[in-house]
Amino acid sequence: MNILIYLVPMALLLGLSGLAAFLWSLKSGQYDDVQGAALRVLMDDDIRR
């Protein structure tokens, strides 16, 4: 079972990177306008302009 010594910390590290990504998205204001974000994804303004 020695493999656990590597595997468990690696799993934790992966989880931590997910947490870090969430905290980054929170800090960069991606949750300020959740309803707007749901609608903006449907817009095709990148084609028109």
Contact positions toward another protein, by CB under 8 A? 1, 4, 8, 11-12, 15-16, 18-19, 22-23, 26, 31-36, 39-40, 42-43, 45
Q: Considering the complex, what minimum distance in angstroms separates the CB of residue 21 from another protein?
A: 10
Q: Taking the CA of residue 2 as centre, how many other CA atoms within 13 Å lie in the half-sphere pointing to its CB?
A: 0
Q: Considering the complex, what minimum distance in angstroms separates the CB of residue 36 from another protein?
A: 3
SS3 category, 38: helix
d(CA 5, CA 29): 37
Q: Considering the complex, what minimum distance in angstroms separates the CB of residue 16 from another protein?
A: 7
